[in-house]
Structure 1
Amino acid sequence: MPKRASGRTVGGLRSLSLQAPAVTLLLLWMLIPLGMTLWFSFQHYNLLMPGEPSFVGLENYEYLFTDPSLWRAMGNTLLMVGWILVISVGGGTLLAVLFQQEFKGRGIARVLAISPFFVMPTVSALIWKNLMMHPDNGVLAWLTESVGLPAIDWFSWVPMTSVVIIVSWQWLPFALLILLTAIQSLDEDQVEAARMDGAGPVDIFRFITLPHLKRAISVVIMIEMIFLLTLFAEIYVTTSGGPGLATTNLAFLIYIQALLDFDVGMASAGGVVAIILANIVAIFLVRLVARNLEE
C-alpha cells in the first residue's frame, strides 16, 4: 500500500510539472493584460500627453457612469445581440429542419447556405455596404425602384437594422451548421411513430424536433453571445457608430475613447465594464447550458 501511494504521488507530481508551463503561460497571457487594464483605469493617461500619467482613483469610472453615451452604448449592445440571436438561431433552426428533408441539389444548397460564415467580417460589411445596400447602385435599391418604390438609404435611415442584417447574415450559417449536425441525430423511428399517430409537421417540430435541439441551441447562443458582445468590424466599416451614437456599442465606444479621444484611462475603465458585463453573461449562459445538459 505505501508503494502504491508513493507511486500515485510521484505520478501526480510528474503530471503537475508537465502541466505547469502551459498553465503558467495561460495565466500570464490573461492576467498581465487584465492587470494593466485595471491599472490604467485608475490613471489619468492621455496619449497626447504620455509623460503625465497620474493616479485619479475612481474618477474615470465616475465620469464614465455619468456619461449618457455609456448607457446608450450598452443599450445598443444588448439590442444588437438580442436581435442577431433571434434571427440567427430562429432562422438556423428553420433552415436546419428544411435542409434535413430530401430534395434535389440538397448538398449544393447546404454548402451555399453555410458559406457566408467563412467570409471575413470586414469583407462581408464591404459587400453589404457597396453592393447590396448602396442607395444608388445597390441591389436592394434596384429591387425597390423596379417595383416603383424609392430606394432606401439604409445606413442613414435604419442604421441599427442594417448592422443587424449584416451580422445576422454572417452568423446564421454558423447556427445552421451546428443545428443541422444536431438534427441528424434525431431518431427517425420516433418521428415516424408520431406521424402514424396523426401528428402533423408543426406538432412534430414543436414536441419532438425542438426539444431534441434544445442543447444545441444553448451552445449556439453561448458561442454567438461571446463574439457578438465584441462586435466591431461591421460597425467600423459601415456606420462608424453613427449617425450620432445610433450604432455605437460598448466595443466601439472603447475604441472611440482610446484611439479617437486618446484617453487610455477612460477606455480602460470602459474595458473593465465590458469585462464585468461579459462575465455576467457568461455565468448566465454556462448555467443555462449546464441545466440543459443535465436534462
Structure 2
Amino acid sequence: MTRLLPRALMAPAVALLLCWMLVPLLMTISFSFINYNLMQPGEHPFIGWANYAFFITDPDFLPAVWNTLTLLASVVLTTLVLGVLIALLVNEPFAGRGIVRVLLISPFFVMPTVNALLWKHMMMNPIYGVLANLCKAFGLQPVDWLTDLPLLSIITMVSWQWLPFACLIFMTSLQSLDREQMEAARMDGANVLQRFYHLTLPHLARPMAVVVMIEMIFLLSVFAEIAVTTAGGPGNESTNLTYLIYRQSLMNFDVGVASAGALFAVVLANIVAIFLVRIVGKSLD
C-alpha cells in the first residue's frame, strides 16, 4: 500500500500532462488526413496522404527547409564562437566587470517581437538606422538589409538574442576551471593558444554540447523575427518551416495542409533531437 500511494498521488498530474500532449497531437494527425479548409465549410472527407503530398510539393517547401537548416547552423556557430570569446574576455578581472556581465546577458530577456522591432527600426533601417549612419560616415552606400539580405538579417537578430545565453553558460563554466593547472601550464612555457586548446576548450566541451542542444531545439521554431520584419520574403528567401506552416494555416486557412506540415516539423525536430542526444551523450562520456 505504501508503494502505491506515491504513484496514486502522481497519477492526476501524469494523466493531465499526457492529455495536454496527446490530445493536440492526435487532433493534428486526424486533421492532416482530411480536407479541412476554413473557407470551405461543410463535410471534411478523408483524403489520405494528399495534404502531405501538397505540402512537400509546394515550391516554397525546399527553400523553407534550407532556410531553417541555414538559420539553425549559422546561429549555433555564431553563438558558440562569439560566446566563448566574450566569456574569456569577461572572465579576466577588470574594473566594472559585474556591470559588463549584467549588460551582456540583458538581450536574452528581450522578447522576440521587441527584438525584431529594435533591429528593424533602430539598426537596419536604410534611412535612419544605426548601420545606415555608419555606412554614410565611411562614405558607403547604406544597405537595405531586410530587402537585400533578409536571411542574414534574421540570423543576426536571432544570434544577438541567443548570444547572452551562450555567454552565461560559458562564463559559469569558466569559474570552475582549475587555475593552478593553468598557472602550471604557463610556467612550463605554454602560450595562450596552447593553454586555450589543451585546457580551456576541453573544459568547455560539455557546456558547448548543452548550448548546441538547447539552441537547436528552440531555433527550429523561430517565428516572431520573420513575421515582424520580412514576412518570409522577399519571395521565399527568409521563409522557414514554422512560417510556411503559419502561412498555410492562418493565411490560406488550410488546416489540413498546415497539420501535415506541423507533423513534418515534429519529425524533423525528433531527428535533430536524436542526433543531439547522441552528440551530448558522447561528450558527457
Structure 1 length-normalised TM: 0.95
**Which position in structure 1 is the counterpart of 2:100?**
109
**Which position in structure 2 is the counterpart of 1:164?**
155
The answer to which of 273-282 and 41-50 deviates more is 41-50
Q: Are 1:259 and 2:250 matched, yes or no?
A: yes
Per-residue deviation, 1:39: 0.4
**Which position in structure 1 is the counterpart of 2:221?**
230
**Which position in structure 2 is the counterpart of 1:184?**
175
**Which position in structure 2 is the counterpart of 1:135?**
126
Gap regions ≥5 residues in structure 1: 1-9
Amino acid at match of 1:82: A
**Which position in structure 1 is the counterpart of 2:203?**
212
Secondary structure, counterpart of 2:60 in structure 1: helix
Q: Are 1:122 and 2:113 matched, yes or no?
A: yes
Per-residue deviation, 1:102: 1.1
Q: Are 1:12 and 2:3 matched, yes or no?
A: yes
- The whole-number CA distance in structure 1 between the counterparts of 2:61 and 2:196 is 41
**Which position in structure 2 is the counterpart of 1:275?**
266
Secondary structure, counterpart of 2:3 in structure 1: helix
How many residues align? The count is 285
- The whole-number CA distance in structure 2 between the counterparts of 1:285 and 1:120 is 26
- The whole-number CA distance in structure 2 between the counterparts of 1:288 and 1:147 is 45
- The whole-number CA distance in structure 2 between the counterparts of 1:53 and 1:220 is 44
Secondary structure, counterpart of 1:11 in structure 2: coil
**Which position in structure 2 is the counterpart of 1:62?**
53
- The whole-number CA distance in structure 1 between the counterparts of 2:284 and 2:41 is 51
Amino acid at match of 1:250: L
Amino acid at match of 1:100: N
- The whole-number CA distance in structure 1 between the counterparts of 2:115 and 2:142 is 21
Per-residue deviation, 1:221: 0.8
**Which position in structure 1 is the counterpart of 2:280?**
289
Q: Are 1:240 and 2:231 matched, yes or no?
A: yes
**Which position in structure 1 is the counterpart of 2:42?**
51
Q: Which whole-Å deviations, capped at 9, do the CAs of 1:140-183 have from their partners, x for residues lacking one?
A: 10010011001100011111111100110000000000111011
**Which position in structure 2 is the counterpart of 1:201?**
192
Structure 2 length-normalised TM: 0.98
Q: Give % identity.
A: 56
- The whole-number CA distance in structure 2 between the counterparts of 1:185 and 1:18 is 40
**Which position in structure 2 is the counterpart of 1:250?**
241
Larger Rg computed on CA atoms: 1
Query: Post-superposition, which runs of at least 4 consecutive aligned residues in structure 1 deviate over 6 A?
Result: none
Gap regions ≥5 residues in structure 2: none
- The whole-number CA distance in structure 1 between the counterparts of 2:207 and 2:81 is 13
- The whole-number CA distance in structure 2 between the counterparts of 1:228 and 1:176 is 17
Per-residue deviation, 1:51: 2.1
Secondary structure, counterpart of 1:186 in structure 2: coil
